[in-house]
Structure 1
């Protein structure tokens, strides 16, 4: 591969802010895998944020790059999987599989697409020192032909429109909004952009915990969380794990006093997937085996960005204990319902 920029390259990153800043360029924040694409003729590398080559997991994306991008280029964007009228991060995660046969099957069943927002090199020309406005113009020219799996992300300079995007596009599975300075060069590895994500709170059941297996002193690695469904089942919804070391040790001391008695009526005690616990899907089998259930169960308040199906999309942030709440009162009803939005309206024509 002979390009003016070669993998691995750290992508330019964003730092979180609570409000959309004025006077910048605004794009939707896609919910997928960050992906730098390097193409030199038929040779294509899909490089993850940490430099891992994803090409073998997404053969259909490689073919799309060969069919729909300049013969020699470096692009920055996101790998996503579209399910109906929205993005599906769970299906995207299933695509990274060790079996070549399974990869081939999933590439047909749940094909990935690429959404690009930056052009870092074209031909022998390195563009990283050029202002973002020029790189964006060059990107639009390079990817001018509509394609089923290759897209250019929408962009606006209108802050009011970006505010509407922030609200509407969540219904299509997007994460928020990204804001970029117009005259800025591409700065690999630096947090030189801004990201504005949805922030919400919920009261959840702490049904168990996991210990850090690598620690000599007992300390909690994560709290295992649940919410009650309409049928009365306690569904596993995710974990909270961002704790300082001293807090992890304090949690271990606190929760060890609540280790599950043999006769406790814990809803996850039998390990039956139909009862909503961590064994409900294969992805969480290892979690279930290592989870220490507690009784009585506790309630805490967490911060989260959004729900995907019945699970929090990311690890949630612990806020505080809620001794005033009963576990049975922690239901899905408290979570905000997001109106659906057709993803096709964001991606535009596909050729």
Structure 2
């Protein structure tokens, strides 16, 4: 007889569950109940408490533990084998700051990561518990996973917290109307009896067709780029925008000139995919600029059009 394994059931990389956009807040089908959660536009992150260590995985599967030393320290009291899914959020002036969390995520060195942890402390909005101890919980209904998540995190408190959740459609509608002012762009909707599985089985509703994105690189001349390498909320995989309009190029030219001198480019430039899946090389820049974008077309072949540069308040 094979002895029981004491190894954690999940180790990175783990493929994450995703949500598809729907136009209106859905109601539950007859005889079913839905869960509604605020959608935090941060950096998607899985936290793994493995033995004596903590590891963190971005949505793409990339290991980003070094970028978040404050969250790694906060996760150490978790029981070994714990795997959380959620979003890293940075708060500034009472609102979520997507540009701030992207600066954290792309910290290039341990010293910079430590400095940014002090300047831009991170919060972790956990919305699922995938494993604990030697148990893989992904096959359990969301309602059970949610109950175990809140029981696990309530004694710990910030910066690890479970996202708010309601099963009351009227409360969800109130959240949708009122939370925009603190930077919550919408709600995620889940069925209470569904397991955790990769793919777009959740739903989300947003206030706007436009979103903010962080600029991490330029395609073409640095001060007059033809397109941009961008990172969208909840994702760490860069993408290439559609060709920039003349007005946006002029707006960006001034902002790019004001950035600190870039580090020498790498010997081989990184690449990202455009709307048709072609790999395009881009010149990296510090993630200090935020733009408003609109995604157009189908999910499979969506184009990301830059509408304007976001000017800090």
TM-score (norm 1): 0.61
Partner of 1:81: 90
Partner of 2:207: 198
Report SS of the residue matched to 1:72. Answer: coil
Of 5, 14, 17, 1:12 maps to 17
CA drift of 1:138 comes to 1.0
> 2:176 matched to 1:166?
yes
Q: How has the CA–CA distance of structure 1 residues 212 and 71 changed in structure 2, closer, same or farther, with 3 Å as cutoff?
A: same
TM-superposition CA deviations, 1:222-265 (whole Å, max 9, x none): 6xxxxxxxxxxxxxxxxx9655xxxx6xx9xxx8xx89xxxxxx
What is the correspondence of 1:39-188 to structure 2 with a 5 Å cutoff?
39-67=49-77, 69-95=78-104, 96-188=106-198
CA distance in 1 between counterparts of 2:62 and 2:308 reads 39
TM-superposition CA deviations, 1:190-214 (whole Å, max 9, x none): 101001112257xxxxxxxx8679x
CA distance in 1 between counterparts of 2:153 and 2:162 reads 7
CA distance in 1 between counterparts of 2:155 and 2:163 reads 14
Structure of greater Rg? 1
Greater per-residue helix proportion: 1
CA drift of 1:142 comes to 1.2
CA distance in 1 between counterparts of 2:263 and 2:126 reads 35
Instruction: Report how many residues are paired.
Output: 248
Conserved 8 A contact 1:70-1:142: no
User: Which runs of no fewer than 5 residues in structure 2 stay unpaired?
Assistant: 1-5, 29-33, 211-217, 229-238, 265-287, 298-306
CA drift of 1:153 comes to 0.4
User: Which runs of no fewer than 5 residues in structure 1 stay unpaired?
Assistant: 202-209, 214-219, 223-239, 260-265, 287-308, 320-329, 336-351
Q: How has the CA–CA distance of structure 1 residues 267 and 59 changed in structure 2, closer, same or farther, with 3 Å as cutoff?
A: closer
CA distance in 2 between counterparts of 1:194 and 1:139 reads 20
TM-score (norm 2): 0.68
Conserved 8 A contact 1:242-1:318: no
Report SS of the residue matched to 2:76. Answer: helix
TM-superposition CA deviations, 1:8-45 (whole Å, max 9, x none): 00110001111111121100001111111110243111
CA distance in 1 between counterparts of 2:227 and 2:14 reads 31
CA drift of 1:108 comes to 1.3
Conserved 8 A contact 2:9-2:81: no
Conserved 8 A contact 1:278-1:285: no
Q: How has the CA–CA distance of structure 1 residues 241 and 86 changed in structure 2, closer, same or farther, with 3 Å as cutoff?
A: same
CA drift of 1:172 comes to 1.1
CA drift of 1:176 comes to 0.9
Moved over 4 A (4+): 210-213, 240-243, 266-269, 282-286
Q: How has the CA–CA distance of structure 1 residues 211 and 57 changed in structure 2, closer, same or farther, with 3 Å as cutoff?
A: closer
CA distance in 2 between counterparts of 1:106 and 1:89 reads 14
86-95 or 20-29: which moved more?
Answer: 86-95
